[in-house]
Structures are given as C-alpha cells and as structure tokens.
Amino acid sequence: MIASPKLKIVEELIATSTREELAWISGYLAGIAAQKGVAVAPTAPDVAAPAKAGKITIAYGTETGNSKKLAADFAAKAKKNGINAKLVSLDQYRINDLAKEEYFVTIISTQGEGEPPAAAKKFYDHIHNNGFKLEKLKYGVLALGDTSYPLFCKAGEDVDAQLGKLGGQRIASLQKCDTDYEADADAWFGQLLQSVSSNGNEAVAAPAPPVKTTGKKTYTGTILTNIDLNDRGSAKETHHIEIDAADVDYLPGDALGLIPHNDESLVAEILAVAGVDASKMHAYKGEEVGVSDLLRRRLNLIHMPERVVAKYAALSGNNIPETRMGLLDLLKIYPLKSSDQFREVIEILEPIAPRLYSIASSPEAHSGEIHLTVARDKFCINGEDKFGLCSDFLARLQEGSTFDFYIHKNGAFRLPEPEKDIIMIGPGTGIAPFRSFLAHRDATGAGGRNWLFFGDQHFVSDFLYQTELLNWFDTGVLSKLNVAFSRDQKEKIYVQHRMLQHGKELFEWMEGGASVYVCGAKEPMSVDVEAALVQVVIQHGGKTKESAEAYIAAMKEADRYLKDVY
Ligand SMILES: Cc1cc2nc3c(=O)[nH]c(=O)nc-3n(C[C@H](O)[C@H](O)[C@H](O)COP(=O)(O)O)c2cc1C
C-alpha cells in the first residue's frame, strides 16, 4: 500500500490515461520493479496487454477500386492497433518479398470470367506458375466478387488455395464477399488482427469454412422514357433511358447492374428443338420454376463458355470441339439422347452474368430517378444482324415496363471536393457519368471549374445531350467544352487531338490541382488519351517521357487521374 498523497497522483494519472497508455505504464512499472528485484503482484490491472507489434503487408488487386479502398481502411485499422502495416497494390508488389513476409493479407476482386484484375495478373501468374516454397508465410485472403456471376470470387479462391499449396499458413479463412461487402470485410479483418496480435498463435490451419454471403439489395425500376439520342443518318443507336426508382441509394460515378433476359423466340426455339413442353416445372435453387421462365430470365444460353460445352459433350455422349457455343446450336448439331435429358442440361447451364452501365443522372438533380446512356450493340454474323443481349434488352424496354437492378458502387470514380476543378474526357457513351457529375455540380452549386471533352462520329447526328451540354456551357457550369467529330472531315479527329490542341491550358489545370476523369472504351480510346496526357506533360511541363509518365502515375496514386473504362 502507498500513502494517500502518492495514491492520489496515481489515481489522477489513471483517470487521464488511455487504455494504451495504461498498458504501457503497467509494463514500464513492472520492468522497473523487476530491475529492483521486486516480485510483481499476480493480479494484473484490468487492461489489455499491449499488442505484440507485428508487421503486416496488405496487398490489393483491384479493377474498380473497391479492394483498394478496403485495403486502405484495413491498413489504417492495423496501425491504430499498434501493428505496422504496409499497403501496396499487387502490381507494385515485389514478388520476391513474399517469402520474407511475416503476415500477408491480400484483398483481390474477380473480373472478366473469373479472372484476377489486370493489376493482379502478374502476381497471380507468378504464384501459380513457379514452384517455390512459402513455409514461413502467414496469410489471409479476402475475395471481392458478385454472387450474380457464375464464378463467384474465383480469383480470390485461387490465390487462397495456391498460397496454401505453396506452404503458407492461413491466419484467417478465406472470406468471400458479395457487392455489399463492408460489414463482412470489417468483421473478418477484426478477427485477423486478433490473430496477428497474438502473434499468429490463433492461426487457422484448416481449409476455408463454408462461404458467408449476404446478397445484394435489388430494386425494381419502371421505364419513364426511352429515346434514341442519335439523329437520322447516324450509324449508331444510343438510348437515353429514364427509370423511376424511389429510395435508391447511389452517388455520381456509380453504375447500375442488371441481369438481362433472353429473347423469347430463342427460348421457344430451344424448347422446340429439345422437344420439351414449355409449361413444365423445374426445381431450381430451392424453388419450382417454369422451364420457359427459367431459360428466359435466369440461365445463360448464348455464347456459353467452353467448360459448359464440355459438360454438354459428356452428358450427350458427343465429341464436341473445345469452343464457345450457344445452346440452340449445340442442341441442333449434337442432339440429346432423349428430351428427358434436358433436365440434366439445365443443371449444367450457368446464370446470366450481370452487365453494368454508368449512371448518367445525379440523385441531387434527378430525385427518384436513374438515367442511363446505352449504345445498342449491333453486329453481323453470317450476313445476319445481331444485337448484344443486354443493350438490346434495355433498348427495347417500353415506357411503363419494369426490370430489376442493383447499384454497383464505384468508390474509385468519385467527384473531388466541390471547389476543385475537373477535366472530363468521355466520348460516345463515356459521356454518361459526366452528365451525372455536371448535373450534380450544377444542383449543388459546386465552385470548381468543369471542362469536358466529348467526341463521336458526326456533329449533326451524334452530339449526345447537345442541348443540355450547350445550356451548361451558357450558364457557366461548363467552363470549357471541346468536341471532336471524327468523320465530319477527311482526317479523323478524336478527343485526344483536342487535348493536344489545348495542351497548354490542360497542363495549367493539372498543375492547379484539377482531377482528370476518363470514361468510355478501354481500347483504343483510353490508351490514346493517356498517351496524349503524357505528351501534354512533356510539351508544356518541360519533362522527359519518363518523368512525364511518373507525373501521370503520381496523379493516379493521388486519385486525381481516374478511369471508368470498358
Ligand atoms: C466486367 C466485370 C466482370 C466481373 N466478373 C466477376 C466474376 O466473374 N466473379 C465475381 O465474383 N465477380 C465479378 N465481378 C464483380 C467484382 O468482382 C466486384 O464488383 C468487386 O467488388 C470489384 O472490386 P474491385 O473494385 O476491387 O475490382 C465482375 C465485375 C465486372 C465489372
């Protein structure tokens, strides 16, 4: 026991200290007592022992920024818990460091048809193709995905399994997350941190437990307007679609996801060729569904992947080349043994994958509505006109008809602070998110300047949203508007040519802190636009090619050069 004046000092110190400070003080006093040869009382104070400061690398593989954002949140959380966290993108990660890691956490999304994001491809290939050992590695994988896709979280699954095969030890089981990932991801990382704090003593040796998915929120929208924005004589058909959908939570930059339906006539033909009664019921995912409805709304029937064709070959007893095919062609060329076998065919078909469209409206400006800009995808096969499944589905939706959708959050394509300048480069349907940005900035009175580069084939027929854009220019919402109509003159002129023409001012805006946004075709547009940006920095910033590329890379890193390309 100590005398009361001293006790008062101790009590005061305790009252004004945080848990971490108390933990430190307790350790400090115990150390001094031990030095003086004093036995420390067995009853420890009621505070958590200081976490053993581990070192953790958090590496993300992202396409649209969700994994990056989550990884940054995790790194901040780890640091708060006294753990030294290193945050790195998988495309910047030095693969030789893997064998030296103490704790390695990776957050990786799945893209394409079950593939890793482009930025994670090198890492993914390296761990799969090189036979090295990672016996010291303690790791955890969080996989981001979307349950609507047939290969849900496939890239994350592969990375988790492969690091295990190479000898790594799991500190947390694989966590697969759907599009509403925040809560699951947070809980998973909390557990993982505990494991790291206890110095890996709680390592999970067993393979991953059953997946926990929460499912996403879906909405039903009603079509208010569906008009073709292109004028007579255009080679294109771009639909402006307004959807009535109250209480939908979205932000400018987000996309709308939907599952398109198959064409009714295709379904009817498939059933006729297979000799199946359209009114037949089929048990599918725990519910009884009419076979016609199942084929129309849920299952992918066109351009089916090789793995499905291989399964069809096995069940129908046919020798079929390894190639993608549609179900109708398969049934016609390689008939089933009997119409009863169609039940087995249904079991091997995969769900229709969702499609994403950048939202062209702003919740501030178009309350209760969502607008889309959809180019009807038209192509020719064997002299026959064909349309893309989803754009055709949307283009043909009549006023008053309904369809289901969900919101795909795009945290990596957000407006900056209201007073910051933005440069938007969005030819064709790439204009969609910029209509949302401009409407939002107009409605909220944001002070930053807005500069738009738009382009298409012809001024007369393809100047999408012309009236609105010119109106925004007249009212000063758009400070600058530069357009490029590629086919109105002999020489093709594209947005990147306009950027080069206005390079001096463009560089001044960039130097002044403007953010650059690009939306539209990944190739060749976004590649050419990036080359033009580098050129602008070389020419007007007096830099070498290398340092101009570094300048653009630094803008990317600072979230001031953002892309939504497809
Ligand atoms: C073109 C495209 C293809 C996708 N393919 C898959 C897929 O095959 N499997 C899956 O689980 N998720 C798939 N997704 C969903 C993404 O993994 C999911 O949206 C994720 O949150 C994206 O994270 P990121 O922003 O870090 O890339 C796909 C998304 C897009 C845009």
Give the model confidence (pLDDT) of 303-317 as tens digits: 999 999 999 999 999
193 has a pLDDT exceeding 60: yes
What is the radius of gyration, based on Cα positions, of the chain?
29
**Is the minimum distance from the CB of 66 to ligand 1 under 6 angstroms?**
yes
List the structure tokens of 384.
């026959």
Q: Residue 358 C-alpha to ligand 1 middle, in angstroms?
A: 15
* φ, ψ dihedrals at 469, nearest 5°: -65, -45
Tell me, what's the pLDDT at 197? 83
116 lines ligand 1 (CB under 6 A): no
Q: Which of 212, 201, 200 is nearest to 174 (CA)?
A: 212
Distance, first Cα to last Cα, the chain = 72
What is the 8-class DSSP label of residue 428? G
Could you read off the pLDDT of 413-436 as tens digits, one per residue? Answer: 999 999 999 999 999 999 999 999
- 427-466 pLDDT per residue, tens: 999 999 999 999 999 999 999 999 999 999 999 999 999 9
CB atoms within 10 A of CB 24: 14
| Residue 525, Cβ density class (10 Å: 0-12 exposed, 13-18 middle, ≥19 buried) | buried
Nearest CA to ligand 1 atom 31: 111
Task: Identify the residue whose C-alpha is closest to ligand 1 atom 30.
Answer: 111
Nearest ligand 1 atom, CA 410? 25
Task: State phi, psi for 256 to the nearest 5 degrees.
Answer: -100, 130
* Residue 227 to residue 178: CA distance in whole angstroms: 33
Q: Is 484 helix (H, G, I), strand (E, B) or coil?
A: strand
pLDDT number for residue 53: 52
pLDDT for 41 equals 40
pLDDT, residue 13, reads 72
The mean pLDDT of the chain is 90
Provide mean pLDDT across the span 176-202.
Answer: 86
Distance of CA 529 to the CA centre of its chain: 22
* Tokens found for residue 219: 């909405």
The pTM is what?
0.80
27-57: per-residue pLDDT in tens?
456 445 544 555 444 333 333 334 455 789 9
Distance of CA 85 to the CA centre of its chain: 24
Q: Of 28-32, 178-182, 401-405, 552-556, give the lowest mean pLDDT range.
A: 28-32
**Average pLDDT of the residues in 517-545:** 98
Cβ(173) – ligand 1 distance below 6 Å = no
> pLDDT for 350-392, tens place per residue?
999 999 999 999 999 999 999 999 999 988 877 888 889 999 9
